[in-house]
Amino acid sequence: MTTPTPARIPTSPASTAAALFRRPFVAGRPGGRPATALRARPAAATELVERSVNTIRFLAVDAVEKANSGHPGLPMGCAPLGHVLFDEFLRFNPTNPGWFDRDRFVLSAGHGCMLHYALLHLAGYKGVTMDDLKAFRQWGSRTPGHPENFETAGVEVTTGPLGQGFANSVGLALAEKHLAARFNKPDFTIVDHYTYVILGDGCQMEGVANEAASLAGHWGLGKLIAFYDDNHISIDGSTDIAFTEDVLARYEALGWHTIWVKNGNTGYDDIRAAIKEAKEVKDKPTLIKVTTIIGYGSPNKASTHSVHGSALGSKEVEATRKNLLWPHEPFHVPDEVKSHWGHHLDEGASLEAEWNAKFAEYEKKYQQEAAELNSIISGELPSEWDKALPTYTPESPADATRNLSQQCLNALAKVIPGFLGGSADLASSNMTLLKMFGDFQKDTPEERNIRFGVREHAMGAICNAIALHSPGLIPYCSTFFVFTDYMRAPIRLSALCGSGVIYVMTHDSIGLGEDGPTHQPVEQLFSLRAMPNILVLRPADGTETSGAYRLAVINRQRPSILALSRQKLPQLEGTSVEGAAKGGYVISDNSLGNKPELILIGTGSELEIAAKAADELRKEGKCVRVVSLICWELFEEQSEEYKESVLPCDVSSRISIEAGVTLGWEKYVGQKGKAIGIDRFGSSAPAGKIYKELGLTVENVIATAKSL
């Protein structure tokens, strides 16, 4: 059935309040029982609450107006929800935004970030001063146009691309449930926090939100509470033009508990009761649909798309001030509002102090568990953890790097407490199963194999949040390399926000063979190399695979893509973990004085081709250097002296060989060099046949070398 759309509501304060107080709060499905107003903290008097709510509204209005840019509509409509949640329910410490057992809040509808900034300012976060609010959306500001965890204290994840923040909230709730199951004891509840998220119609329309909601319901994430800002407006106008589904019915089908607050504008008790009811549901996540008026209080723009993404304009700001009886100058915070919100400083410090005292007792009784949890909280890796990684010699048997990767994954999971992850329904093909652990499921959340199902997009976003939940949580996720296209948005956000997810991408080239061009990545290597703050690692054998994992683990502020082969590769002479750490290095050279006649550069499965071609050319008396360029990004970070020692400028005879597009290789082969690659899509055939037909062979490398 279709959820009825509430009639448009008049916007003057008196008429709005009168109309809305006649509309009941409905718990569960529309038409369900009224809920009792229950509170986590004593609520302030209604008059003070209303002044606080209007303070939030006008801080947003004034900041957007000063910037002449932004989205005032959501903060004006969601201010009541924001006040009740932050002031009465959310557990946090403004003086230590990173306190481990804080509740997490995510604004998935990140365009409305002035709501979040206003709340953080009132709550006493030092990183969001009044000057910061006045610098909204300006160069160097700590209040950027969408929430960024690396810019603003109190912002947990970077949101803006719609649906991503909601999927992040699922990851944060997963992390809490996992850690609580591992470390809580009958006499100590040491991990106990909620994840709250606000999402809008745009988030609901994005497919990633449905993927994530499906997983949250399946996993029974009972400490995830989502608020759906149901204001019926998107950028193009009324949501009636494109979005008329029954959202609550969909979430119920996905395994969520649902509540409808019909009066999100002045129904403070209704909002309180809904949050309390949601917290009493332990086995399901909860979606609270909160019906609001976008741009509440604006006489001429409320309930229209014109208030969504543009400043009100000076005349409408003045009219809104009169309409909401707000006579103050811009950026005014009344003394009584400031005084009331000041309680969060002492309360937050007390909450953290109480937790610290509890953890000190926990450490005495459960030393091993406390040490592991400390590692996860601090991000400090166990000493000599990297010695657990497997080692290989040229005599070791040939194997696919996806298989070698599984050896590394299982070695790391034994020594790193926060190491966990999974695959998009491809664990047996990506080789990502942690053999000593079971599956993270609703009733076994302590386990470390995460079954994401065929949901690459949500998988990436969920892993972003796991990595940002605690410094020592190191998530990996996996699919076929070509399907990075399905998860480009969360990979980009990993790079932007410094989330050190390890992306284990197998079937990295035409070497996968018969599945054909739909599954054979060609352009993906270069397209991901074009992304800032990410490591793209294509190891050639077991030694380089171990080296790639070492790099991925230590790089906690940037994600890593490991492009791994399906086909077996030999263990090569000259590869090294130390060389891999520099991104590019010499694996063999029969020249003297850094003056080879020819340089052959390879990555991954094509490094073997380069090495074999060099052997043949050397038999003819050529001085040939073979370079593994496993990671362009790391190589570019080396000193000019080191790069010259690997790729001397005076040597113009260079050939690269890689099973991907040649775009970008001109940087390394120069104008006189040649790039052997694939500037077309692949084909369905055995791998060896495709390599031969497309010229990725020892013979073609030799012929190309002789043509230089």
Q: Hey, what are 55's tokens? A: 């303070």
Per the annotation, the verdict on 523 as an active-site residue is no
Q: What's the rounded Cα separation, in Å, for the pair 611 and 587? A: 9
Quick check: 9 and 16 in contact, CB under 8 A?
yes
To the question of whether residue 83 is assigned a binding role by annotation, the answer is no
Quick check: 298 and 60 in contact, CB under 8 A?
no
Q: What's the rounded Cα separation, in Å, for the pair 112 and 72? A: 7
Query: 43-77 burial, b if ≥16 CB within 10 A, otherwise e?
Result: bbeeeebbbbbbbbbbbbbbbbbbbeebbbbbbbb
Question: What Cα–Cα distance (Å) separates residue 38 from each residue in 35, 263, 270, 694?
Answer: 9, 17, 9, 69
Place of tokens 């209080």: 297
To the question of whether residue 601 is assigned a binding role by annotation, the answer is no
Q: What's the rounded Cα separation, in Å, for the pair 65 and 321? A: 13
Q: What's the rounded Cα separation, in Å, for the pair 303 and 10? A: 10
To the question of whether residue 162 is assigned a binding role by annotation, the answer is yes
Q: Where are the alpha helices (DSSP H) in 161-242?
A: 164-183, 201-205, 207-219
Place of tokens 């990410």: 534
To the question of whether residue 561 is assigned a binding role by annotation, the answer is no
| Pick from 201, 228, 191, 180: nearest CA to 81 | 228
Q: What's the rounded Cα separation, in Å, for the pair 82 and 86? A: 6
Q: What's the rounded Cα separation, in Å, for the pair 501 and 475? A: 6
| Pick from 387, 434, 406: nearest CA to 545 | 406
Q: Which of 372, 456, 544, 608 is catalytic?
A: 456
To the question of whether residue 515 is assigned a binding role by annotation, the answer is yes
| Pick from 187, 190, 191: nearest CA to 358 | 190
Place of tokens 């891999």: 580
Strand partners, 219: none
Quick check: 30 and 260 in contact, CB under 8 A?
yes
To the question of whether residue 680 is assigned a binding role by annotation, the answer is no
To the question of whether residue 231 is assigned a binding role by annotation, the answer is yes
Q: Is 500 exposed, middle or buried (0-12, 13-18, 19+ CB in 10 A)?
A: buried
Q: What's the rounded Cα separation, in Å, for the pair 487 and 524? A: 12
Quick check: 505 and 562 in contact, CB under 8 A?
yes
Q: Hey, what are 233's tokens? A: 């407006």
To the question of whether residue 22 is assigned a binding role by annotation, the answer is no
What's the first-to-final CA gap in the chain, in angstroms?
Answer: 71
Quick check: 536 and 558 in contact, CB under 8 A?
no
To the question of whether residue 343 is assigned a binding role by annotation, the answer is no
Place of tokens 């481990």: 100
77 CB-near residues (< 8 Å, 6+ apart): 229, 231, 264, 265, 292, 293, 294, 295, 296
To the question of whether residue 236 is assigned a binding role by annotation, the answer is no
| Pick from 110, 38, 30: nearest CA to 70 | 110
Tell me if residue 104 falls in helix, strand or coil: strand
Helices 343-365 and 367-378 pack at an angle, to 10 degrees, of 140
Q: Hey, what are 581's tokens? A: 């750490």
Q: Is 463 exposed, middle or buried (0-12, 13-18, 19+ CB in 10 A)?
A: buried
Quick check: 72 and 328 in contact, CB under 8 A?
no
Q: Radius of gyration (Cα) for the chain, nearest Å?
A: 28
Q: Where are the alpha helices (DSSP H) in 334-393?
A: 335-341, 343-365, 367-378
Q: Hey, what are 464's tokens? A: 């972003």
To the question of whether residue 71 is assigned a binding role by annotation, the answer is yes
Quick check: 529 and 537 in contact, CB under 8 A?
no
To the question of whether residue 450 is assigned a binding role by annotation, the answer is no
To the question of whether residue 460 is assigned a binding role by annotation, the answer is no
Give the residue numbers marked as catalytic. Answer: 456
Binding-site residue positions for Mg(2+): 201, 231, 233
Binding-site residue positions for thiamine diphosphate: 111, 160-162, 202, 231, 308, 483
Binding-site residue positions: 71, 111, 160-162, 201-202, 231, 233, 308, 402, 429, 483, 507, 515, 519, 566
Binding-site residue positions for substrate: 71, 308, 402, 429, 507, 515, 519, 566
